[in-house]
Amino acid sequence: MVKDLLKRVLFCLCLAGGLVPVSAVPAAEQSFQEWLEGFYSVAAENGISRDTYERTFAGVTAADEEILKKAAYQAEFTTEIWDYLDTRVNPRSIDDGRIMAGVYGKTLQDVEARFGVEAPVLLAIWSMETNYGAVLLRSNRLYYVPRSLATLAYADKRRQKFARAQLLAVLEIVQAGEISIEQLTGSWAGAMGHTQFIPTSYLAYGVDMDGDGRRDIWNSIPDALATAANLLHKNKWKTGKNWGYEVRVPANGVLYKEETKTLAQWQELGFVRPHGQGFPQPEEKAVLKLLAGDTGPGFLMMRNFFIIKRYNNSDFYALSVCLLADRLAGRKKMVQAWPRPAGSLSVEEKFELQALLKEKGFYVGAVDGYLGSNTKKGIMEFQNKQGIRSDGKPTQELLKALRR
């Protein structure tokens, strides 16, 4: 169900940080094995055979403590919009997307023809969800989905209802034989395959695009892309329509934040596109979004933007998909700058910083613009060697030192 997709945001892999206590089952109560045996009655009432149940949990003897740790550290979303975009809409994601557009051009053409969702949008979603499938190659990022969901249903009372529904759905997937049990892997909270569908959403939107009789979003790129397209299609995607427009905000524009008006009305109020262009189809309605606060660029968001949010209910996520899709379609990037703090780096400069650290032997990871712990470690090693304060911060001054 679509609502299940919105809940999926709570469990997104990219989130980490803020502490939220987990309500675990006390040791004096049911053991995990007792709970698992007891849950079969619920599964049986929903049409799951004993054979399916036993095959699914063969070898599962305990709850996954790592899942509970990840659930305990549920993030508060504190990333600034420019940092969020830098890790998702950047030279690497654009270049990789163009490569994938060439490799899977016929598939994308067929999916677009069937569901009416443009190829660049599907590529952008694929990039956002699993980095064009690269995440699925990292065994340390994958979990056995039935065990993960059973762990949450057993020990996390806040997510119990969600996890039980997803567990029943994944048992239905096993019983239908659409994927082997060994391949039933996903995120710690149950999101699966190239395009990261939770089990109930897989059942609602899964598509067998390659015609092999299975909806295999784990191994079949056609099935995965078609499943993503079907979700958007069934939520009334408007083929050929824009997602919205970047606009310059007039002096009093913040007063209209989150209001809905026609594009003609917005233009009368002084909202204009960066180069002064008019709005096609001025009778269309749009909502004003100010994702960087009062001092940043504005966006007039139209229907397709909000349909993307049915996939992941986050303005940041939806804008990332839209901007990446624009670049993959050959359209120009944003014109206005984000209000970054003084001395911070642009996305291009973040790539340059990593490349220079790598060139000088201080960094061995990928040059991807993501300035995580490995990059910080490299920065600190460079700072120590240069005799400057070792704080690990990526600044303009640091970049200048590296260039020297």
**Residue ranges of domains in the chain, CATH in brackets:** 2-76+138-234 (1.10.8.350), 347-403 (1.10.101.10)
Taking only the tens place, the pLDDT of each residue in 141-182 is 899 999 999 999 999 888 899 999 999 999 999 999 989 999
Q: Give the C-alpha separation, 184 to 166, whole Å.
A: 13
So what's the pLDDT on residue 359? Answer: 95
Q: Which residue has the tokens 């849950």?
A: 39
Contact 115, 229 (CB under 8 A): yes
Tell me if residue 192 falls in helix, strand or coil.
strand
Two tokens, residue 203: 């059942």
Reference 346, options 380, 300, 379, 395; nearest CA is 395
Q: What share of the chain is helix, strand, coil (3-state, %, to 5)?
A: 50, 5, 45
pLDDT band at 10 (very low <50, low <70, confident <90, very high): very low
pLDDT higher than 50, residue 198: yes
Find the range with the poorest average confidence among 15-29, 113-127, 185-199, 376-390.
15-29
Phi, psi angle pair for 382, to nearest 5°: -65, -45
Taking only the tens place, the pLDDT of each residue in 354-377 is 999 999 999 998 898 889 899 999
So what's the pLDDT on residue 141? Answer: 80
Tell me if residue 243 falls in helix, strand or coil.
coil
Q: Give the C-alpha separation, 171 to 147, whole Å.
A: 11
Contact 326, 120 (CB under 8 A): yes
Tell me how long the chain is.
Answer: 404
Contact 218, 185 (CB under 8 A): yes
Reference 244, options 198, 302, 203; nearest CA is 302
Q: Which residue has the tokens 């704080």?
A: 391
Contacts of 108 (CB under 8 A, 6+ apart): 101, 119, 122, 123, 225
Taking only the tens place, the pLDDT of each residue in 260-284 is 999 999 999 999 999 988 899 999 9
Mean pLDDT for the chain overall: 90
Find the range with the poorest average confidence among 34-38, 75-79, 336-340, 400-404.
75-79
Q: Which residue has the tokens 């919205």?
A: 244
